[in-house]
A and B are shown apart, each in its own frame.
Chain A
Amino acid sequence: MAEISPTIRKRLIECRSTAMVGNIDAALGVLEREVTSDGLSDSERLALLLLKAELLYLDCREREALAVFENEIEGKLLSISQEERFVVGQNKRDVIFGGFLASQGRSGTFLHDQQTMAGKKLGNAAVIVNAYEAARSGRHYEALPTLWRELLSAYQQRVWSYYRQAARRVAQEFIQIGWAHMADFYVVIGQDTKTAETIADQLLNWRNVEFIDARVNRLILHANLKRHSIVACGMFVRLADAVADGQVIPTTRWLLQRASMVPTGFLEEALVKTAWDALVSLSPRFDSDTAMEVVNVATLHESWKEKDRVREHIVRAVDACIGILPVDYLSKVAEKSIHMAKGMSDDINLDKDALRLFLHITSRADAKSKELIREALYNKPSVNLNPLLIVAEEFGKTWGNRDEAERLAEVVARDVRLQVQRLNKDEEFEKPQVSLGQMTLTAGPKKVGVSIYSDLGLRALIPHRKMLSEDSIALLMDSVLAMLHEPENLISNKVLMINAITGLADVMTPKLADQAFEILEPIALGNVTSIDLSKAVPPNHPLNPNRMDFGDPETIQGGALLALATLETRLSSELRDRAVRIIEEAMVNPHPEVRRLAFIAARRVEAISDSAVITAVLGTRDNVEDVVIEAFLLLGDHIKDTPEFWNSVVYSAKLASQSPSSEIRRVVAYTTKRLSERCKDDSVQRQLTDIRSLLESDFSYSVRREISSNSSGP
C-alpha cells in the first residue's frame, strides 16, 4: 500500500475514534473537509474516503456508503495502485452484501478471481495456523502476539472484512487465555455477537463487579456505531443482572436511544430488536418511573402500531414492565395495546407475545381494562382451534357449551391417531388438522407415515377438561396412550402425548390412570421406543449438515416421570408406590436430564422416602447446574429433620452460595429462606442466616432480589 502521511493517518484515527464515541456526523464532516484539501495524493484521498464509507457502513447507512464508492472513489482516483483497487473492491462488496443492496452482478466473483490471479490473500494463513497450533499447545505467549500482529496488519491494509476477522481472532484468543475482560473491544470492532456472549458469560462467572462496571462503561462509550451497538446490546442482554445499580438508568437510556429507532434495513432491525431484548433483561432492575419511560417509548414506536418483525420484541419489553408499573397506569397500557387484540381470534399464527402481555395486564389491571381486553380478544362467538381457547379461562371467558367441547374432543381424539399411519404403498397419508410436516418411510409394499404433530387441539381441550364427559376423556386418553405406545412414533410427538396425560390427570378415573401407568412405566424406566431414523436421516451424524431435532429419549423418560408424579394421587395404592419408587430411582440416573426431571417429579408427589431426601442433598453437589437447581428446590419442599440432614444441607448451601452461576445462587437464596422457616436448630439457623447475609450483597441483582422478596418460588 502507498505511504500515507502522518497527518492523514492521524486524521483517520481521530475520525474513527470520534465516530465510535458517538459523534459520527462530526467525524464525517472532518473527513469531507479533509478530502478536498490541496496537496493530497490519490492514495491519501482514498484512505479518507474509505474511512468515510466505513463509518457510514458501520452506522448501517449502506446506501450512503455505496455512494461514496460509486461517486467519490471509482473513476476519480486514477493513480491508486492495483492493490488499493482490490481494497476498494473488497470493501464495496462488504457494503453491498452487508446492506442487502442490489446485486453487484459478477463483480464480486471477478474481484475474487483477480485477487487469486494476483496472489493476493487476506491475512497470512500460515501465520494464523501457527498461532492456533501454538494456542492449542498452550503456547499462548506466541499465539496472542501473532494474532495481534495480524490485527495491526489488517488495520494497515484497510480491508474491513479482514480487520473484522483479525479482531475476532484476537478476542477469541483472549477468551482462551482467560482474559475475557480484555476482549470486549475486539468483539465490538469484530462485530462478533457470538463471542460477545461468551465474554459476557465469563464475566458473570468471575463475579468481579469492577470488571463488569468497566465493560458496561466502555460499551456505552465506544459502541455507538450501529453495527457495534448490536454487539453491545447482545452483551447487555446477558450482563443485565450484573449491571451495577448506578448504571441501570444510563444503560437503559443508551438502550432506549437504539430501541426507539425506526429501522430502515436488516441490520438496523437487528439492532432495534436486540436493544429491546436487552431492555427485557434489564427490566427487573427498573423502578416504576423507568418502566413507564420504557413503556412510553415502546408504545410510541412505529412498530407498535403494525405487526412486524420488531413488534414482538417491543411487546416483550412492555410485558416485562407490567409487574413494575403502577396499577392505574395499566389501563393506559391496555388502551395503547388493544389494537393488537383485534382480529387475534381469526389469526392462526396469533401473536403469542401480545397474548401473554394481555394475560399479565389482566392479572393486575382493573375490571374495566380486563373487560376491554376480553371483549377485544373474544369478539367472535366461536374461536375454534386457536391458542385463544387455551387461555380463555384466564381472561374470564367461558367457552361455548359442553356439546361443542365433546365434539371437539371427538375430532381431536381422531386427529391424535393420525400421527402415525401404516399404509399400503399406494395409500395417501391423511394430514392431521395441524401438522408441522410429515415423513414417510417405505419398506417393501408397506409404508409408515409419521406427522410432526402439533398438539394445539389437545392444549385447547385441557383447560376445558372439566366440561368433558368421562367417555370423552376416555376417548382422548385411548388415542393419546396409543400414540405414546406406538413404536413408530417420533419422540417429539410422544412428548406431546405425555404433556396431554399430565394435563388430563386430574379428570382421569383411577382405571384410566392405571392404564396410563402401564404405558408410562416402561418409558419412565428408560425403555423408549421410537421410529428409527438412523438410516433415513441420521440426525446426529457429524457429517450431516441438516440437523433435525426430533427429541431425545432422555426427555421422554423424564417426561414420563413427571406424568407419573402428576397421576400419583389417582393411581391404585400398589401402582402409586411403584410410581414413587421409579421417580426416586431416577434421581440417580446417569443422564442429567433424567435426574433433573426426576427431581422436579419428586417435588410433585406427596411424600418421598428419607433416602430420596438424602439423594436430593447429594444432588445439590451434582456437576450439572440444572440438576443442582432442582435438587435445592426439592429440598425446599421435602426435608428430613435430623442433624445429619441439616448439616449436609447447610454445607451444600454454603458451597452453592459461592457458585459462579447466578441461577444456583438465586435458588440457594430461595431454599435457605424456606429452610429457615422449618429449622428449629439455633446453630443451623445461624449458619443459614450467614448464607443469606452473604447472598444479600451478591453480585447479581436477581439473587439479591430473591433473598429480599417474599415470593413463593424463584
Chain B
Amino acid sequence: MPSSQFPPPPPFEHLADEAIRARLVNLRESVAPILSNNVLLHFTDHSVNHSDSLARFVDDLIRPLQCSDQRLSPDELFILYAACYLHDIGMQFEKANETQVIAALNLITPWHDIPLEDRQNIIRQNHAAISAEMVRNSVNAEAPIVGLQLTGDYFPNYVAAISEGHTLQIESSRYKALTAYGPNLRIELLSALLRIADILDLSRRRANRPKALTLNLSLESQTHWWRHHYTEDIVIDQNKKLVSVWFDFPPTRAAEYRKVVPQTQMPWIEAEFQRQNPVFHRYGFGWSVGSVINDRTDSVAEQMPDSVLAEMLKQLYRQLKRDEQEHSQMVVKLFDDAQPHIERRISELESRKGSMSAGDYLREASRIATDLREIGAVRTAVELLRSAYSAGQEELSDTERLSIAAQLAVLTRDDGDASRAFETLRALVPLAESLADGKIEKFLFWKTWANSLIDAFANDLAIAALHRAIALAPSQQEKEVLSVRLAEIQFLLGNIEGALNASSVTVS
C-alpha cells in the first residue's frame, strides 16, 4: 500500500536528531497499513491517525519536561513515539490465534469456531500483550509481522514493555516489572506518558458518523462511540498546566446530556491522571484535568438514541454502586486494620490489671472506650467499660464516677440498649444530688439522666430531671437547649399547656 494514502507524519517536535526521526517515520510508514486493517470493526478509529494524535499529545504533554534538566533523551523520545505506533497494533492482528498470548489462554473452542464477536472481544482484551508479542517477534525477523524488521536501535524490548503495559493495572506486579528502569531509560515515565496520551485521544475525530451508520454496534460500543462524538476537543494549556476536555451537545438535549456524558467520560481520565501524576511529579512536572461544556447554539452534535443514553445511565449507576460498596468495604477494612491496635491496647491494659488498682484500670478503660467509639467500635467499648466500671467505680472520686457512668450510659444507648443505660444511671442519682450545684459533673449527669428517663418513658421523672438539669446548666445556651427539649417532650406527652409554658412565649 503506497504511503501516500496516509496523512503526513506529525512533527515529533522534541526530536532533534534527524536520523532518529527518519527511523521513526520509517516505522510509521511500515505499521500504518497494518493499523488500517480495522479488524475490530465496532471500535472507534484505531488507524495511524490515532497514533499520530498520541504523538501530538506527547509533544504537548512533555513540553514542560523538555524545558527542564529532566528532559527526555533522544532514545527515550524514540521509544515513546514508537510505542504510539505499536501499542495498538495487536488490535489489528487477525491471526491473533497464532500468538503465544492467545495460546496461553487455553481456549476450549478452536479459534475459528468461536463467534466473530467473541473473537474480537478476546483480541480487544488482550491486544496490548499481542502488540508486545508482535514487536518482540519482529526483532531481526525475516518476515516481521509489524511490517519492519526491528533491530536493537528500535529498542524493541522497551517499546514492547510500554505497549503491553498500556492497559495493565499499575499496581500489578507485571506492570511494575515491565516499567522497571532501563539503562538511562525512565520506562515508568514513558509508560505514564503513553497511557495519558492514549486516554486523551477521545475526541469527535475518532467517531466517524458515516462509518458508524454502516455498523451494527453493540450498546456498549455505541456508548464509547457517542462519548467520542460529544468530546469536541482536548485543549492543553501550558500556562495553567491544565488539560481541558471540551464537550459539545445538541442544544435540544444539552440539559440532559451534560449531567450524564461527562460523568461517564471524566472519571476514567481523572483516574489515569491521578495514577500518573505522582510519576510526573518525580520529574518536576504535572497536569491537572478538567471539563468544559461548550454551550453552543450552533452545535452540530447529534442526538444519541435513548437506548444509548439509558445504557450510559446504567453504566453510571453500576459505577456508583461499585464505589458505594468500595466505600463501605473501606470503612470495615479500617476497622479490620484497627483491630490489632485495639487488641494490643486492651491486652496491654489487661496485662497490667494485677498491678494497678481497679479505679486506675477503669480510668484507662474509659480512655480506650472513648477512642473505640470514635472509630465506630461501640459494642467493644461498651463491653470493655462495663466490666471495668462494675469492678472499679467504688474507687473513683464522686465526680469521676458520675462522668464515667454517664459515658457508659451514652455508649450503651448508642449500642441500642436504652434500658441498660437507664439502669446504669439510676443507682447514681443520690450521689449526683450530693454534689454541690456548681459542679459540671452534676449538671452533665442530670442531663444524661433526663435523656435516659425520656428514653425509658418515665415521663414525670424525665420532666423533673429536665427541670433539674436546666437549673444546673452552666450556660444560658445549655438552658435554652434543655428547655426546648422540655417543651418538645411536654408536647409529645400530650401536655400542650405544658409545652406552651415550657416554650414560654405567648402567641396571641
A9-B488, A17-B503, A26-B508 known; A145 and B419 CB under 8 Å?
yes
User: How many positions in chain B have a CB within 8 Å of any CB in the partner chain?
Assistant: 27
Q: A80 on the interface (CB 8 Å rule)?
A: no
* Interface 9-mer from B157-165, B265-273, B492-500: B492-500
Which chain A residues have a beta carbon within 8 Å of chain B's beta carbons? 6-7, 9-11, 13-18, 20-21, 23, 26-27, 30, 127, 141-142, 144-146, 148-149, 151-152, 155, 182, 184-186, 218, 221-222
Can you list 6 contacts pairing A with B, beta carbon distance less than 8 Å?
Answer: A10-B484, A13-B488, A151-B492, A182-B494, A218-B494, A221-B496
- Residue-wise interface mask of B (209-247) relative to A, using a CB-CB cutoff of 8 A (1 in contact, 0 not): 000000000000000000000000000000000000000
Interface secondary structure of A, over-half rule: helix
A6-B484, A145-B419 known; A17 and B492 CB under 8 Å?
no
Q: Considering the complex, give the chain A residue whose CB is closest to the CB of B507.
A: A18
A7-B480, A145-B457 known; A13 and B491 CB under 8 Å?
yes
- Within 8 Å by CB of B492, from A10, A146, A152, lies A152
Report the 8 A-B pairs with minimum CB-CB distance, sorted nearest first.
A185-B494, A6-B480, A145-B457, A9-B484, A6-B484, A18-B507, A14-B503, A13-B487
- Which of B456, B493, B507 counts the most chain A CB atoms within 10 A? B507
Contact indicator A10/B496 (Cβ below 8 Å): no
Min CB gap A182→B, angstroms:
8
CA distance A327 to B454 in the complex (A): 59
Q: Which residues of A contact B488 (CB under 8 A)?
A: 9, 13, 155
Min CB gap B327→A, angstroms:
12
Q: List 13 additional A-B contacts (Cβ < 8 Å) besides A6-B483, A10-B505, A14-B507.
A: A6-B481, A10-B480, A11-B505, A13-B484, A13-B487, A16-B491, A26-B508, A141-B419, A149-B418, A149-B455, A151-B492, A155-B492, A222-B494
Q: Considering the complex, give the chain B residue whose CB is closest to the CB of A163.
A: B492
- Residue-wise interface mask of B (123-167) relative to A, using a CB-CB cutoff of 8 A (1 in contact, 0 not): 000000000000000000000000000000000000000000000
A6-B483, A152-B454 known; A14 and B505 CB under 8 Å?
yes
Q: Which residues of A contact B504 (CB under 8 A)?
A: 10
Q: Considering the complex, give the chain A residue whose CB is closest to the CB of B505.
A: A14
- Which of B419, B481, B483, B492 counts the most chain A CB atoms within 10 A? B492
A13-B503, A14-B505, A222-B496 known; A145 and B456 CB under 8 Å?
yes
Q: Which residues of B contact A16 (CB under 8 A)?
A: 491
Q: Considering the complex, give the chain B residue whose CB is closest to the CB of A218.
A: B494
CA distance A145 to B458 in the complex (A): 9
Contact indicator B457/A148 (Cβ below 8 Å): yes
Q: Which residues of A contact B499 (CB under 8 A)?
A: 13-14, 17
CA distance A27 to B508 in the complex (A): 9
Q: Which residues of B contact A21 (CB under 8 A)?
A: 496, 500
CA distance A142 to B456 in the complex (A): 8
Q: Which residues of A contact B418 (CB under 8 A)?
A: 145-146, 149
CA distance A184 to B496 in the complex (A): 13
Q: Considering the complex, give the chain A residue whose CB is closest to the CB of B496.
A: A17
Interface secondary structure of B, over-half rule: helix
Q: Which residues of A contact B416 (CB under 8 A)?
A: 127
Q: Which residues of B contact A149 (CB under 8 A)?
A: 418, 455
Residues B468-484 near A (CB distance < 8 A): 477, 480-481, 483-484
Min CB gap A127→B, angstroms:
8
A10-B484, A27-B507, A149-B418 known; A20 and B457 CB under 8 Å?
no
CA distance A222 to B477 in the complex (A): 31
CA distance A6 to B455 in the complex (A): 20
Min CB gap B330→A, angstroms:
17
Contact indicator B484/A17 (Cβ below 8 Å): no
Q: Considering the complex, give the chain B residue whose CB is closest to the CB of A4.
A: B484
Min CB gap A251→B, angstroms:
19
Q: Considering the complex, give the chain B residue whose CB is closest to the CB of A26.
A: B507
Q: Which residues of A contact B483 (CB under 8 A)?
A: 6, 10
Q: Which residues of A contact B496 (CB under 8 A)?
A: 17, 20-21, 221-222
A26-B507, A145-B418 known; A14 and B454 CB under 8 Å?
no
Q: Which residues of B contact A186 (CB under 8 A)?
A: 494
Q: Considering the complex, give the chain B residue whose CB is closest to the CB of A186.
A: B494
Min CB gap A214→B, angstroms:
11
CA distance A146 to B454 in the complex (A): 11
CA distance A17 to B504 in the complex (A): 12
Q: Which residues of A contact B456 (CB under 8 A)?
A: 145
Q: Which residues of B contact A151 (CB under 8 A)?
A: 492
Q: Considering the complex, give the chain B residue whose CB is closest to the CB of A222.
A: B496
Contact indicator A10/B487 (Cβ below 8 Å): yes
Min CB gap A505→B, angstroms:
57
Min CB gap B493→A, angstroms:
8
Contact indicator A14/B500 (Cβ below 8 Å): yes
CA distance A17 to B499 in the complex (A): 7
Q: Which residues of A contact B484 (CB under 8 A)?
A: 6, 9-10, 13
Contact indicator A15/B494 (Cβ below 8 Å): no
CA distance A184 to B477 in the complex (A): 35
Q: Which residues of A contact B491 (CB under 8 A)?
A: 13, 16-17
Contact indicator A30/B503 (Cβ below 8 Å): no
CA distance A16 to B503 in the complex (A): 11
Min CB gap A156→B, angstroms:
9
Contact indicator A15/B480 (Cβ below 8 Å): no
Q: Considering the complex, give the chain B residue whose CB is closest to the CB of A20.
A: B496
CA distance A516 to B93 in the complex (A): 101
- Which of A9, A13, A182, A185 counts the most chain B CB atoms within 10 A? A13
CA distance A151 to B493 in the complex (A): 10
Min CB gap B373→A, angstroms:
20
Min CB gap A332→B, angstroms:
42
CA distance A11 to B499 in the complex (A): 11
Min CB gap A462→B, angstroms:
54
Contact indicator B508/A10 (Cβ below 8 Å): no
CA distance A14 to B496 in the complex (A): 9
Q: Considering the complex, give the chain A residue whose CB is closest to the CB of B413.
A: A149
Q: Which residues of A contact B480 (CB under 8 A)?
A: 6-7, 10
Q: Considering the complex, give the chain A residue whose CB is closest to the CB of B482.
A: A6
CA distance A9 to B484 in the complex (A): 6
Min CB gap A308→B, angstroms:
35
CA distance A141 to B419 in the complex (A): 9
CA distance A7 to B477 in the complex (A): 10
Min CB gap B188→A, angstroms:
40
CA distance A26 to B506 in the complex (A): 10
CA distance A151 to B457 in the complex (A): 11
Contact indicator A18/B494 (Cβ below 8 Å): no
Q: Which residues of A contact B454 (CB under 8 A)?
A: 152
CA distance A176 to B71 in the complex (A): 83
Q: Considering the complex, give the chain B residue whose CB is closest to the CB of A147.
A: B457
Q: Which residues of B contact A7 (CB under 8 A)?
A: 480
A10-B484, A10-B505, A145-B457 known; A17 and B419 CB under 8 Å?
no
Min CB gap B130→A, angstroms:
41
Contact indicator A10/B494 (Cβ below 8 Å): no
Q: Which residues of B contact A10 (CB under 8 A)?
A: 480, 483-484, 487, 503-505
- Within 8 Å by CB of B507, from A6, A30, A182, lies A30
Min CB gap B209→A, angstroms:
34
CA distance A282 to B324 in the complex (A): 61
CA distance A26 to B503 in the complex (A): 16
CA distance A158 to B487 in the complex (A): 16
Q: Which residues of A contact B508 (CB under 8 A)?
A: 26
Contact indicator A17/B455 (Cβ below 8 Å): no
Contact indicator A17/B500 (Cβ below 8 Å): yes
Min CB gap B371→A, angstroms:
25
CA distance A11 to B480 in the complex (A): 12
Contact indicator A23/B507 (Cβ below 8 Å): yes
A185-B494, A222-B496 known; A142 and B505 CB under 8 Å?
no
- Which of A30, A145, A186, A222 counts the most chain B CB atoms within 10 A? A145
Min CB gap B310→A, angstroms:
15
Q: Considering the complex, give the chain B residue whose CB is closest to the CB of A19.
A: B507
Q: Considering the complex, give the chain B residue whose CB is closest to the CB of A185.
A: B494
CA distance A218 to B495 in the complex (A): 9
Q: Which residues of A contact B419 (CB under 8 A)?
A: 141-142, 145
Min CB gap A583→B, angstroms:
53
